[in-house]
Amino acid sequence: MIVEAAGRLFFAPGSARVSMDDLARELGMSKKTIYRHFPDRRSLLAAVLDRQFAAVERTLVAVAQDAQGQPFGVRVQRFLLAAGSELGRIGAARLAAGRGDAVLRQYVEQRVDAVVYRRLEELFRDGHRQGLLSAPPELLSEITRGALERLLTSRLPRELDRTAADLLRAGVDTVLYGAIRPAHSGIGDEQLEAVIPTARDEEQEVGP
């Protein structure tokens, strides 16, 4: 209960530095009771982060399992879209800034690396072992990591009225599919040339 309430407060949109007093008021309990479970704010925040990243990991594992047997390009795309959406959902870019706390920043970086980027690199290595990639997997990992981190902190998604995950999909189409040999990618030319649908386009597609 304490960790769940702390997560709501610590990561609420537009939230400033939340104190233990704020959390005690939210829970209707004394700070002494909270400190009985967590000796300080940092230890509580670490527990909240563990909970957040565990949820991200469950999502990515489920996506990878669902994509088993799909063409390699589809597996890459689904993983990246899920990763972009999940990191955006938990505010990973804001967390990585550390809010002035170097220990917190390092902890978040380690968790993102373990949960997302190591899985991504292994996915590219798997494609390389199968002979599906014409570029080194380390290079593709670095390009994709940079694109994802940049989009999570960029104003571009807001300016284009699209999510970071949407724009990451465009980056996949533009950059990564050029490194996947066409005979094995499972992605046709018409998909490579497809543009991201706007909100209006999507509404039109759903209409009668």
Q: What is the mean pLDDT of residues 164-177?
A: 70
pLDDT band at 203 (very low <50, low <70, confident <90, very high): very low
Residue 49 burial (C-beta neighbours within 10 Å; 0-12, 13-18, 19+):
buried
CA 57 to chain centroid: 10
148: pLDDT strictly greater than 70: yes
- The predicted pLDDT at position 93 comes to 64
Q: What is the mean pLDDT of residues 177-196?
A: 50
pLDDT digits (tens, 9 = 90+) for 37-87: 888 878 888 888 888 899 999 999 999 999 998 998 889 888 988 988 888
> How big is the CA angle at 81 (ends 195 and 138), to the nearest 5 degrees?
105
9: pLDDT strictly greater than 70: yes
- The predicted pLDDT at position 199 comes to 41
Q: What is the mean pLDDT of residues 157-161?
A: 83
Residue 23 burial (C-beta neighbours within 10 Å; 0-12, 13-18, 19+):
buried
6: pLDDT strictly greater than 90: no
Buried b (16+ CB within 10 A) or exposed e, 74-111: ebbbbbbbbbbbbbbebbbbebbeeeeeeebeebbeeb
Q: Which of 175 and 90 is assigned the larger pLDDT? A: 90
Q: How crowded is the C-beta side of 89, counted as CA atoms within 13 Å?
A: 11
Lowest mean pLDDT among 65-74, 100-109, 117-126, 167-176: 167-176
Q: What is the dihedral of CA 166, 95, 19, 33, to 10 degrees?
A: 100
